[in-house]
Structure 1
């Protein structure tokens, strides 16, 4: 369903930290200034589909008043360079005048989503892909359980999760009213929590924590808390975010890749598919430093195995595609395929990851070609035998 199986993800977090400082990763990575060159570069690398963000906190300057000056250069660049975009509409960032706990938050976000859809239809001329609210589960934990980002409260994670689902549901209804053909991607962390060999109560608590990763999806689909307005059609493309630290012992440290307690990614993808029977994508994945190519090699091997086993994985998004600054200490993190720009605005290519990317593009292309040929052969066989 994407223009390329491997996608480029531009980090677009725009939340306030617990100390009140507003982050804007699009600005700090200089992607706003270099969007033309960035889109051209990823297209040259065969990444024809991307994730990027419309920064709500910059756009809605007053209630109902929209300034699209930060968004239009991105929309125009995407059109010129013919890249398909999944637009994040709320990547942790909310305008300061909105109380996230209020009904106004839900209504204002629906109105913003409707206005953004009209703009995109006018400027891009076709139906778009949206990630209405990024990582509902993580935001609920970070923003209202541990207080490390806005709204900066504690012990209210379950409440915030429901509020974010309300907003996402209202946004999707508003988007579909403008564009019935719009598609939705929800990106939620895929985790594994191991209870070890301790008491049964400890293992049961670990499993309960692990299964909580599905609550947001279940709410969006109306399976859980139907009073929030979720419906089956709102769970469109199921995106899972997977990083090296997404598996850990309950109450303990991360499980290292290769350890017997480490759950293969192919099994995690199979579990998600069997639960929802919706198209899947790896909506974020990546590693830091010299681990980048090895991590992509592992992930793509597991994705290929899942596809061979019949799991409909539609794409893998390298995230972030640019080196970017850390949220807490603002150090420059070497996580991207492309570096921070030099004085002339040129980004260096991280060659080891680029080589791995080329190999994986070829490998997945061959796999998908074989799958398409097999499907065509099966269809021809059905027609020749006259079976329905």
Structure 2
């Protein structure tokens, strides 16, 4: 990190993530979870509610499929309430430019995908600079590893392919690299994040050797390695393109080589502790990191947050430059492939009218965990001020 242009401190250690998937699901239907949860019309109320909990940072999505009204022509006006609410409640926004969806006529291997995506990123940045005095925090493409697997190997969304995960990943990385370069040309101070799942694959038995297991675990870092120029140098990746890394971690992010998920709660102590996974990722790349998505479903949401918070506290004690935890999502969401089935995964669940119904044990857990990181916020802000003065 360049001390003359240090990573700015975030306004709170805990963050709130709002679902923004806008892809085409397995039924061939376009979904938009911002709209399904009514977040797009209740954003001011949602920000006010988070502020009361001491949360001043959010993850939001631009929804490329919604704002590109025709090729290279964009209408970002639907995002004005987000910027207005952010100013009113002093909320810092980390923007996903492409969470999971593309415009109707594009797939990552399309000849015009890169140029259209770069144009989209450039024009959103210009819109951001006109409507916010905050330093832009941008995630150009979220979870390339997952998206390429989901769309290129599992027929989960366009192009509904199999045996094409690597090809999709390669082209998504190409688009992201070109977009970052364009963004940095317009606004060198923009904070760029690369966000990927953090997983651990274990040996189920002695039918797999340690080298093969290591190879399986290394696949999760392919996209970051490409963006940072450690793989596929012909795409022009570079360490300096990315300012911070994000890792998404859920209860099912650890499984064995036979594709059986390790159960949580981890009664048999088979999981690798999250703090150890964060340690490995941090010292692989030596960049500030954020736990950009974490959360759980149903009645054990509070227990999950307590465990994650304890592990993140351990990570800080291991001198990992961890900048925050994003609870994802803070508002419940429907299933991608069945919009009538809700997940019961938010700080607030939803009733039939999309009213926010607080899940009280989760709120209590957040209240208990927040003080764990108060001193870290103060230390980090002091460090950043010292770096700027230097």
TM-score, normalization: structure 1? Answer: 0.92
What is the correspondence of 1:61-140 to structure 2 with a 5 Å cutoff?
61-140=69-148
1: CA distance, partners of 2:246 / 2:170 = 19
* CA deviation after TM superposition for structure 1 residue 224, in Å: 0.5
* CA deviation after TM superposition for structure 1 residue 198, in Å: 1.2
1:261-296 Cα deviation digits (max 9, x unpaired): 310001000000110000011000000011100000
1: CA distance, partners of 2:130 / 2:225 = 33
Are the aligned partners of 2:92 and 2:134 in contact in 1 as well (CA < 8 Å)?
no
- State the SS of the aligned residue for 1:7: strand
Q: From 300, 304, 311, give the equivalent of 1:295.
A: 304
2: CA distance, partners of 1:200 / 1:348 = 47
Alignment of 1:274 onto 2:298 = no
Q: From 11, 31, 56, give the equivalent of 1:3.
A: 11
The two structures, once aligned, show a CA RMSD in angstroms of 1.9
Q: Per the alignment, do residues 123 and 34 of structure 1 end up closer, same or farther by CA in structure 2, a change over 3 Å counting?
A: same
Alignment of 1:238 onto 2:248 = no
1:166-194 Cα deviation digits (max 9, x unpaired): 11111111111221100012221100000
Q: From 191, 216, 221, give the equivalent of 2:223.
A: 216
1:91-138 Cα deviation digits (max 9, x unpaired): 111011224312311111101100000000000023210011010000
Q: Per the alignment, do residues 78 and 341 of structure 1 end up closer, same or farther by CA in structure 2, a change over 3 Å counting?
A: farther
Q: Per the alignment, do residues 315 and 373 of structure 1 end up closer, same or farther by CA in structure 2, a change over 3 Å counting?
A: closer
Q: From 317, 331, 339, give the equivalent of 1:322.
A: 331
Q: From 153, 167, 170, give the equivalent of 2:161.
A: 153
Structure with bigger gyration radius: 1
Q: Per the alignment, do residues 104 and 348 of structure 1 end up closer, same or farther by CA in structure 2, a change over 3 Å counting?
A: same
1: CA distance, partners of 2:137 / 2:217 = 29
2: CA distance, partners of 1:143 / 1:74 = 30
* CA deviation after TM superposition for structure 1 residue 205, in Å: 3.1
- State the SS of the aligned residue for 1:132: strand
- State the SS of the aligned residue for 1:95: coil
- State the SS of the aligned residue for 2:112: helix
Are the aligned partners of 2:302 and 2:362 in contact in 1 as well (CA < 8 Å)?
yes
2: CA distance, partners of 1:252 / 1:93 = 27
Alignment of 1:225 onto 2:253 = no
Q: From 341, 344, 351, give the equivalent of 1:334.
A: 344
Aligned residue for 1:182? 190
| Unaligned residue ranges in structure 2 (runs of 5+) | 1-8
TM-score, normalization: structure 2? Answer: 0.92
Are the aligned partners of 1:101 and 1:160 in contact in 2 as well (CA < 8 Å)?
yes
Are the aligned partners of 2:331 and 2:348 in contact in 1 as well (CA < 8 Å)?
yes
* CA deviation after TM superposition for structure 1 residue 73, in Å: 1.9
Are the aligned partners of 1:127 and 1:179 in contact in 2 as well (CA < 8 Å)?
no
**Which has the higher relative contact order, 1 or 2, with Cα contacts under 8 A spaced 6 or more apart?**
2
Are the aligned partners of 1:91 and 1:133 in contact in 2 as well (CA < 8 Å)?
yes
Aligned residue for 2:274? 265
Are the aligned partners of 1:195 and 1:204 in contact in 2 as well (CA < 8 Å)?
no
Are the aligned partners of 1:195 and 1:207 in contact in 2 as well (CA < 8 Å)?
no
- State the SS of the aligned residue for 2:39: coil
Are the aligned partners of 1:138 and 1:189 in contact in 2 as well (CA < 8 Å)?
yes
Alignment of 1:17 onto 2:39 = no
- Number of aligned residue pairs: give it: 374
Q: From 340, 360, 367, give the equivalent of 1:358.
A: 367
Are the aligned partners of 1:243 and 1:286 in contact in 2 as well (CA < 8 Å)?
yes
1: CA distance, partners of 2:94 / 2:376 = 24
1:45-98 Cα deviation digits (max 9, x unpaired): 111000001111111110111112322222222222210000000011101122
Aligned residue for 1:33? 41
